[in-house]
Amino acid sequence: MTPRTGGVYGALRQRRLPPEESDMAVILSVKDLTVVIDGRTILEGVTFDLEQGSNLAIIGPNGSGKTVLLRCLLGIMPYSGVVHWASGVKRGYVPQRVDADRQLPLTIGELLHAKCRVMHFPLTELQSVEELVGLTPDILNSPVGSLSGGQFQKSLIAFALLGRPEVMLLDEPTTSLDQLTEERVYELMHRLQQKLGLTFIVVSHDLTMVYRYANQVLCLNRQGLCFGPPKEVLTPQALQTLYGEHHHFYEHHHGS
């Protein structure tokens, strides 16, 4: 029932990876991941392996456990089963929503500084991340509550990148953005992946972006329903099973 990775890699993946990343070391191994909250099973027996340098999209209907899965992978909520990261792997996280108080007297630059100091990173780290993401002094000096959605998302990505993680986990990074900004954010992520050879794990609601950028996809509806390269596993039947009758609506939903 539970899908596993075979040794199948799509053509897409071969093209995108920098040559030095071509050894396919497993960076994350998940076995029988199960989460029960208040007697309700949120995740059940989720199992998959992920190679270094992958771009994994996690898709599934609302309430299918995507965010919970991400939080388990980060180790910030209790679960049963095994989540095993290759040793020494650092992770950067961009949550779905940050309910930051818009009134906070705090600029993005100050926020990034705070992380640097807590983690004892040198401030040079900060400069390289700012350049990488394209954070202008204008954005850095803005209070957190005054940024546009795209600027805020960029800032969160910069926050996650501080400390040079090998893996980036993003939870619907473009939910609240218009289509143009959404594409820019995906392009930024794609550029980062190419430049730094990062592994991406992205919860996504947008199948267009999944087809364009992901080389692995995990269909999640409490259980893992499919796992593999999108072109192979995202068959009409698979989407039907995942989303039910209305998947067409879902597919064309973005940008509305």
Partner 1 sequence: MTVELAYAVILALGAAFIGGLVGGFALMRRMSLAGDAVSHIALPGLGMALLLKFNPLLGAAFTLLLGALLIWRLETQTRLDAEAVVGVVFSASLALGGLLTPRDDLVEALFGSFRPPSALEFVAAALLTLAILIGLYRWKDGFVLNLFSSELAASIGLNRSQLDLAFSIIFAMTVLLVLRFLGALLAGALIVIPPAVARHWTSRLHPFFAISAIVSVGSVAGGAGFAAYRNVSLGPAVVMVASGAFVLSILFRRRPIPSR
DSSP 141: T
91 touches partner 1 by CB under 8 A:
yes
Min dist. Cβ of residue 234 to partner 1 (A): 29
Q: Which is nearer to partner 1, 97 or 195 (CB)?
A: 97
CB within 8 Å of 86: residues ≥ 6 apart: 25, 26, 27, 28, 52
Q: Using CB under 8 A, which of 39, 105, 122, 137 touches partner 1?
A: 105
C-alpha closest to that of 55 among 198, 221, 238, 220: 198
C-alpha closest to that of 213 among 180, 188, 235: 188
Segment lying near partner 1 (by CB under 8 A), choices 4-12, 40-48, 143-151, 197-205: 143-151
Q: Using CB under 8 A, which of 102, 164, 231, 248 touches partner 1?
A: 102
Min dist. Cβ of residue 74 to partner 1 (A): 5
Q: Which is nearer to partner 1, 160 or 225 (CB)?
A: 160
> What is the DSSP secondary-structure string of 178-196?
-HHHHHHHHHHHHHHHHHH
Segment lying near partner 1 (by CB under 8 A), choices 30-38, 51-59, 132-140, 156-164: 156-164
Give the count of residues interacting with partner 1 (CB under 8 A): 31
Beta-strand runs (E) in the chain: 26-37, 40-51, 55-59, 80-85, 91-94, 167-171, 199-203, 216-221, 223-228
140 touches partner 1 by CB under 8 A:
no
For the chain, how long is the longest CA-to-CA vector?
Answer: 52
The 3-state DSSP class for residue 78 equals: coil
CA angle 114, 120, 123 (to 5 degrees): 70
123 touches partner 1 by CB under 8 A:
no
CA angle 82, 58, 245 (to 5 degrees): 120
117 touches partner 1 by CB under 8 A:
yes
Enter the tokens of residue 71.
Answer: 């939080």
Min dist. Cβ of residue 15 to partner 1 (A): 31
Q: Using CB under 8 A, which of 3, 45, 61, 95 touches partner 1?
A: 95
Q: Using CB under 8 A, which of 5, 107, 174, 204 touches partner 1?
A: 107
Q: Which is nearer to partner 1, 74 or 86 (CB)?
A: 74
- List interacting residues with partner 1 (CB under 8 A): 71, 74, 76, 91, 93, 95, 98-107, 110-111, 113-115, 117-119, 143-146, 156, 159, 163
